[in-house]
């Protein structure tokens, strides 16, 4: 029989963060017999752009790249922007092509006043969808310089790029009036 | 462009008849600290079973599969929550499945249960849907929802679905020139009908001016034109024919179901010819030179509705349905949906409201429940909530449920002294449209009194 000891170890509560019980929810008082505990959270996700990395890298070089299917079995010839690595029709890898934005114009728009948490731009922020000749999709972005009455549908725009301290997000490209 | 093969356009078929026999729900609130999600789900399930006049013990002995729709683990902060709910309801060790398709989670949950019964796998399937959206503030809630947009190319541009729909709205106004007031009338109607529901979260008697001059969330959408963010649950019970007639004398049959999908990113929708519904021909759109589906239509909704109509043998939905529940997340998405599901041809959705068709007394009253704008959008429960409301309508029970003073009291509310009964006279057949993203998933379910 194994010999036991009378001395026992203790299990302690470690690195205890300050406990907060919410007293109010949405500006109303929490009933006194209900416990609402605040569970704070800070986490870091490490997200890969995988085969799309080239798109985000090229933004920092002031270039807008899309992809195009060159498979002979595929009749579709439009450029995808946002790019996709694979063609959704034939599942072959597509080719990267630099986008000619000279005919770009605003397809639709909205002025964002009350964005969700985590929004990194100042408000009001004009969100736009951009129509580009030869591109089979509409590119969602924002107008980083705007005046009275802008944006409007059909407004000619050109891309500008955040090359100093890039965010490596879609916010590294935006559009300005093309006059 | 998407091209269809015969397999894609096959009309779905149920291998045996499927019936909805019971429905229950909680009230819906912005925040609900007094009750956990499991308590809310139990309350909804209990209401559905109580109305069958059998005991929970008897009911549990009949169950052989269960479906749990919940949109986002982020909100409730509990992975595999369906296991907790299933256990809490005492259904162990019966097999079950959690279902997630964004805003269409409820509709997909119902479709899953219907398919389980139709296949013969199961004979009695409860579907219990819920969402707990009050653990975080509204800004964070919007960001969680926008996590269901493309995180690489869309989410950072707004962290808000209102913005993504506002882009569609601006384009819709440009292409189809409806009166701006017509869109506000949808909000007015649904907040208005919500006044007569003890379950509803944002009832309101708004003037059109009040709706249009309210704070703008994302131009041009104003606050009263956007859906609620809710806490609450809904439960439905689907059965085969034998079980259905054992449990109730008046089961409601599922006569049509459909499901469609389209790119998560609105931007990625390539132009294609319009997929026609049974009440349309090539002639309907002769000379039309606008993009389709573009930013103004939902291919997924059209695809789902087409399947359900063909299955149910419906040619003209406005004539052949008695009521409908649409996913009015925003006023603009509602008007878009009227066109996708054939209440009016493309470009003419405003006529559905202006003609009076969409109102009680009109040809196809829509969202008498108060919808998502007036009553609730507790996401996992929403598609089930719509079906529950249709279930009560086609059984002629709307007033019995909604007019019950005790239910109003239970939720701490006072039944309005000026009362309007929203029962559609002799309602027999209704359809619910459940919708996700900017149209990434849509389901259509047609219920019919037998």
Q: Is A14 a residue whose pLDDT tops 90?
A: no
Would you say B436 and B256 are in contact if contact means Cβ atoms under 8 Å apart?
no
Which member of B154, B168, B218 has the closest CB to residue A114?
B218
Q: Residue B443: name the closest of B119, B164, B108 by CA.
A: B108
**What is the rounded distance in angstroms from the CA atom of residue B434 to the CA atom of residue B149?**
17
In-domain check, residue A41: no
Contact criterion met (CB < 8 Å) for A26 and B134: yes
What band does A13 get if pLDDT is binned at 50, 70 and 90? confident
| pLDDT (tens digit per residue) in A118-154 | 999 999 999 999 999 999 999 999 999 999 999 999 9
Assign A15 a pLDDT band (cuts: 50, 70, 90).
confident
| Domain around A132 | 50-177
Check residue A33 and give its pLDDT. Answer: 96
Domain residue spans of chain B: 18-136+230-247
Contact check, Cβ <8 Å, A114/B169: no
Question: Looking at the complex, does the CB of residue A116 fall below 8 Å from at least one CB of chain B?
Answer: yes
Q: How many CB atoms lie within 10 A of CB B87?
A: 13
Q: Does residue A156 belong to the interface with chain B, where contact is any CB pair within 8 Å? A: no
Distances (CA, A) of A81 to A132, A138, A153, A168, B344: 9, 7, 19, 17, 33
Chain A positions touching B158 (Cβ under 8 A) are 112, 115-116, 119, 125, 127
**What's the fold here for domain B18-136+230-247?**
Peroxisomal Thiolase; Chain A, domain 1 (3.40.47)
Question: Where are any strands of DSSP class E within B219-270?
Answer: 221-222, 231-240, 252-261
Q: Is B171 in contact with A78 (Cβ distance < 8 A)?
A: no
User: How does pLDDT run across B25-71, given as a tens digit for each residue?
Assistant: 999 999 999 999 999 999 999 999 999 989 999 999 999 999 999 99
Residues near B15 by Cβ (< 8 Å), separated by ≥ 6? B118, B119, B120
| Strand B221-222 to B216-218 pairing | antiparallel
Does A106 reside within a domain? yes
φ and ψ of B148, to 5 deg? -95, 20
- Mutation target to probe the B interface, by most B beta carbons within 10 A, among A23, A89, A119 is A119
In this prediction, residue A77 has a pLDDT band, given cuts at 50, 70 and 90, of confident
**Does residue A65 belong to any structural domain of this protein?**
yes
Which parts of B248-330 fold into alpha helices (H)? Answer: 299-312, 317-320
Assess if residue A3 is contained within a domain: no
Q: Is residue A54 part of a domain?
A: yes
* B368 HSE (CA, 13 A, CB side): 30
pLDDT at A41 over 80: yes
CA distances from A170 to B143, B154, B401 (A): 16, 8, 50
pLDDT at A120: 96
Bridge partner list, B443: B259, B434
Asked whether residue A39 is domain-assigned, the answer is no
pLDDT > 80? residue B284 = yes
Examine the pLDDT at A73 and tell me if it is beyond 90. Answer: no
* Interface contact B154-A113, CB threshold 8 A: no
Instruction: Report whether pLDDT(B283) > 70.
Output: yes
- Check residue A1 and give its pLDDT: 64
Residue B1 has pLDDT above 80, yes or no: no
Q: Which residues contact B440 (CB under 8 A, 6 or more apart)?
A: B101, B102, B261, B262, B263, B264, B300
Nearest CB to A112; choose among B140, B158, B171? B158
CA B391 and chain centroid, separation: 13
Q: How many domains does chain A have?
A: 1
Q: Tell me, yes or no, if A115 comes closer than 8 A to chain B by beta carbon.
A: yes
**How distant is the Cα of B272 from the closest Cα of chain A, in angstroms?**
11
Establish if A154 belongs to a structural domain. yes
> Is residue A42 assigned to a domain?
no
CB neighbours (10 Å) of residue B370?
30
N- to C-terminal Cα separation, chain B: 42
Beta carbons of B170 and A118 less than 8 Å apart: no
CA distance A121 to chain B (A): 9
Q: How far is A130 from chain B (nearest CA, A)?
A: 9
Mean pLDDT of the B297-305 span = 98
Nearest to B343 by CA among B373, B370, B363, B371: B363
Residue from A25, A108, A152 to probe the interface with B (highest B Cβ count within 10 Å): A108
Q: Identify from B35, B75, B267, B270 which residue to disrupt to test chain A contact, counting A C-beta atoms within 10 A and taking the largest count.
A: B267
The minimum CA-CA distance between A98 and chain B, rounded to whole Å, is 18
Task: Sort B353 into a burial class: Cβ within 10 Å, 0-12 / 13-18 / 19+.
Answer: buried
A-B Cβ pairs (cutoff 8 Å, strict): 141
Condensed to tens digits (0 to 9), the pLDDT of residues B113-128 reads 999 999 999 999 999 9
d(CA A137, CA A23): 48
pLDDT of residue A75: 76
């Amino acid at each position: 029989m194994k010999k036991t000891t009378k001395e026992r170890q203790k299990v302690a509560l470690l690195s205890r963060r300050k406990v907060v019980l919410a007293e109010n929810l949405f500006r109303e008082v929490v009933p006194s017999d209900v416990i609402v505990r605040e569970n704070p959270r800070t986490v870091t996700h490490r997200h890969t752009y995988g085969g799309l990395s080239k798109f985000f890298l090229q933004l920092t070089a002031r270039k807008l790249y899309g992809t195009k299917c060159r498979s002979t079995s595929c009749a579709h010839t439009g450029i995808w922007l946002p790019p996709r690595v694979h063609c959704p029709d034939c599942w072959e890898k597509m080719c990267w092509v630099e986008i000619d934005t000279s005919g770009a114009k605003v397809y639709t728009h909205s002025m964002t006043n009350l964005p969700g948490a985590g929004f990194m731009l100042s408000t009001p922020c004009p969100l736009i969808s951009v129509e580009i000749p030869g591109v089979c999709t509409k590119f969602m972005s924002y107008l980083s310089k705007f005046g009275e009455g802008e944006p409007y549908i059909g407004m000619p725009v050109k891309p500008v790029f955040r090359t100093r301290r890039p965010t490596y997000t879609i916010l590294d490209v935006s559009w300005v009036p093309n006059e | 462009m998407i091209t269809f093969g015969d397999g894609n356009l096959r009309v779905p078929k149920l291998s045996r008849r499927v019936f909805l026999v019971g429905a229950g729900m909680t009230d819906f609130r912005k925040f609900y600290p007094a009750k956990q999600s499991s308590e809310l789900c139990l309350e909804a399930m209990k209401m559905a079973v109580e109305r069958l006049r059998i005991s929970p013990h008897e009911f549990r002995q009949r169950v052989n599969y269960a479906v749990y729709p919940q949109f986002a683990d982020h909100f409730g902060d509990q992975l595999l929550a369906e296991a907790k709910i299933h256990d809490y309801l005492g259904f162990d060790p019966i097999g079950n499945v959690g279902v997630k398709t964004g805003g269409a989670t409820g509709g997909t949950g119902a479709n899953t249960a219907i398919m389980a019964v139709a296949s013969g796998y199961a004979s009695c399937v409860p579907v219990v849907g819920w969402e707990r959206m009050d653990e975080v503030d509204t800004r964070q809630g919007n960001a969680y929802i926008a996590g269901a947009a493309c995180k690489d190319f869309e989410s950072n541009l707004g962290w808000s679905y209102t913005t993504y729909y506002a882009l569609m709205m601006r384009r819709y106004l440009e292409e189809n020139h409806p009166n701006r007031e017509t869109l506000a009338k949808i909000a007015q109607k649904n907040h208005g009908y919500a006044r007569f529901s003890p379950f509803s979260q944002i009832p309101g008697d708004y003037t059109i001016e009040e709706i249009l001059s309210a704070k703008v969330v994302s131009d041009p959408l104003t606050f009263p034109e956007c859906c609620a963010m809710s806490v609450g649950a809904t439960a439905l019970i689907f059965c085969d024919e034998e079980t259905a007639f054992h449990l109730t004398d008046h089961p409601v049959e599922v006569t049509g179901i459909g499901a469609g999908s389209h790119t998560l990113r609105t931007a990625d929708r390539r132009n294609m010819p319009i997929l026609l519904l049974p009440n349309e021909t090539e002639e309907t759109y002769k000379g039309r030179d606008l993009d389709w589906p573009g930013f103004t239509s939902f291919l997924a909704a059209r695809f789902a509705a087409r399947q359900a109509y063909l299955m149910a043998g419906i040619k003209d939905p406005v004539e052949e349905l008695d009521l409908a529940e649409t996913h009015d997340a925003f006023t603009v998405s509602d008007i878009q949906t009227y066109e996708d599901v054939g209440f009016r041809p493309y470009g003419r959705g405003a006529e559905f409201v202006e003609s009076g068709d969409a109102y009680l007394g009109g040809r196809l009253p829509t969202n008498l429940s108060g919808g998502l704008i007036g009553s609730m959008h507790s996401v996992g429960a929403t598609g089930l909530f719509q079906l529950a409301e249709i279930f009560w309508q086609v059984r002629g029970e709307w007033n019995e449920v909604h007019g019950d003073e005790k239910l109003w009291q239970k939720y701490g509310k006072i039944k309005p002294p000026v009362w309007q009964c929203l029962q559609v006279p002799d309602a027999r057949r209704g359809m619910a449209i459940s919708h996700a993203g900017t149209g990434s998933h849509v389901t259509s379910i047609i219920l019919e009194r037998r």
